Amino acid sequence: MISKKKILPQAKKKTSTAKKIEKKVVKKTVAKEMKKAAAPEKESLLMQPPRGMRDILPIDQPYWEKVRKALAVACQEYGYNRIDLPALEFTNLFVRSIGEGTDVIDKEIYSFVTKGGDKVSLRPEMTAGLARAYIQHGMSVLPKPIRLFSMGPLYRYERPQEGRYREHFQANFDVFGEDDPILDAQIIHLAQRVVSQLGLKNIEFRINSIGTAESRREYEKVLIRHLEFQKNKLCQNCRERLVTNPLRILDCKEDKCAQLVQSAPKFAEHLDQESKNHFKRLQEYLDELEVTYVVSPQMVRGLDYYTRTVFEIFSTDGEGRKTALGGGGRYDRLIQSLGGEETPAIGFGLGMDRLVLEMQRNNVKLHQELKPKVFLAQLGDLAKKKSLRLFSELQKNGILVAESFGRGSLKSQMRVANRLNVEVALILGQKEALDETVILKDMVSGTQETVTQDKLVIAVRKILKGNQVVVAKKGE
């Protein structure tokens, strides 16, 4: 018989070991749970860009290309040189140039701090960056006036709606070094030229003068006195603007604010004499250019750097709906306020997204791109390899060629040729690749012949020229 005295110590030993094992298991389990809890959950992948941003698909690109071509023609005709600016600038550049209390700075700008601690912002407009570049690169020594063109994306955190995106594209035309109103008239005429080239008919230009900074401050005092006793009738935004930026109340779209503004003192009555003369001469120049315009006394534009001339461009439809396409004005003191020399300047921007939208609404006829008249078909590995050189040779000789590399059967490639409505099909098979020949099929007449590869360019041109003669005779 085994005594109890011998059993008890063994039982205690087993119990102690089991407890240690249990503790280890618990520790591992807890550690796993803690690690799992600490690890971030895998975010679901959204197959779309952030709100207010979008892809510009190939189907829309012909409209964009028409806009880009019209802008390029305007640059050439009016003598503008292109400058490309960074999309990211130091935040204080925008704050100082655009002004605190503006909607752009207070509500719309995309600002953040970099890993290095720099406070930067995605550009909400181009003029501030352009002024910075003008000063930084010593452009003041260049012959005046200096004409610059810029184009690219802008970013504003505002409510997306039709034709207005948080990432949108703009083209800018700016002139530095001349304060004569003839430049104001010419730049408005340039804007008219661009939109008319795009096929947009019902265009309205609104113009105004907001005077100098001094006359503007005097008018602000008069406006505040007029609105102070009625501020409860203003919308919430305009109550805030009454303190931060009173002039912005003048072009508020809220009905109750617009009614109060109608009875307010007119800006034109408080302009300095020099600004009045400047504005009068501008109108005379526009009349000479036969530019139709409307004087809009309430228009002030939303940025602090504007002086004297301001203008906006609208497209109107048959129902009286107006779509803003762009605008601009003078900013004679901006360069000096950023540390540069006293430099008069004027510029305007066109919203490229809005232009495209209006072109689509108006069913604007698009420029027909050159289409290939020749199709190169190949069959077999050797033929595929040889066809690359033939393709390159034809392109170098100014013959636009289509192909369907990678398609296996000759039948499927010829279907592509028929769909493209080409005039000549070139067929290169294994035999032709070895013989260094090519089969030419005239897709108009249906005839075909075999030629050596060194005479291919001459043979193709002969067929294309012959087809032109046939078409010309049919048109007689």
> With 50 as the cut, is the pLDDT of residue 220 above it?
yes
pLDDT digits (tens, 9 = 90+) for 283-325: 999 999 999 999 988 787 767 788 899 999 998 876 777 888 9
User: Alpha-carbon distance 273 to 60, whole Å?
Assistant: 49
What's the pLDDT score for residue 36? 61
Can you tell me the mean pLDDT for 336-363?
Answer: 93
Write the Ramachandran bin of 138: left for phi over 0, alpha for psi from -120 to 50, otherwise beta: left
Can you tell me the mean pLDDT for 118-138?
Answer: 94
Can you tell me the mean pLDDT for 56-62?
Answer: 91
Confidence of residue 136 (pLDDT cuts 50, 70, 90): very high
> With 70 as the cut, is the pLDDT of residue 215 above it?
yes
**Position with higher pLDDT, 15 vs 98:** 98
**Position with higher pLDDT, 470 vs 21:** 21
In the chain, % of residues over pLDDT 70: 88
Can you tell me the mean pLDDT for 419-425?
Answer: 89
Spatial CB neighbours of 117, under 8 Å, sequence gap ≥ 6? none
| C-alpha dist (Å) from residue 352 to 45, 48, 58, 405 | 30, 22, 16, 36
> With 80 as the cut, is the pLDDT of residue 106 above it?
no
Can you tell me the mean pLDDT for 448-476?
Answer: 76
pLDDT digits (tens, 9 = 90+) for 366-416: 877 778 889 988 888 888 888 888 888 888 888 888 888 766 688 888 888
What's the pLDDT score for residue 17? 64
Residue type, 246: P
What's the pLDDT score for residue 473? 52
> With 70 as the cut, is the pLDDT of residue 447 above it?
yes
> With 60 as the cut, is the pLDDT of residue 10 above it?
no
What's the pLDDT score for residue 154? 94
Strand partners, 323: 315
For the ranges 39-53, 183-197, 251-265, 432-446, the one whose mean pLDDT is highest:
183-197
User: Alpha-carbon distance 465 to 475, whole Å?
Assistant: 16
**Position with higher pLDDT, 107 vs 283:** 283
Residue 429's nearest CA partner among 444, 414, 445 is 414
Confidence of residue 217 (pLDDT cuts 50, 70, 90): confident
What's the pLDDT score for residue 31? 66
What's the pLDDT score for residue 209? 92
Can you tell me the mean pLDDT for 117-122?
Answer: 94
Can you tell me the mean pLDDT for 151-168?
Answer: 87
Domains, the chain, ranges and CATH? Answer: 58-158+166-212+272-361 (3.30.930.10), 374-475 (3.40.50.800)
Can you tell me the mean pLDDT for 407-435?
Answer: 86
What's the pLDDT score for residue 474? 52
> DSSP E strands: which ranges in 247-344?
293-295, 307-316, 322-330
User: Alpha-carbon distance 307 to 335, whole Å?
Assistant: 13
> With 80 as the cut, is the pLDDT of residue 352 above it?
yes
Judge whether 172 and 247 are in contact, CB under 8 Å: no
Can you tell me the mean pLDDT for 63-89?
Answer: 94
What's the pLDDT score for residue 20? 63
pLDDT digits (tens, 9 = 90+) for 168-180: 999 999 999 999 9
For the ranges 10-24, 149-163, 164-178, 408-422, the one whose mean pLDDT is highest:
164-178
User: Alpha-carbon distance 175 to 150, whole Å?
Assistant: 12
User: Alpha-carbon distance 324 to 451, whole Å?
Assistant: 59
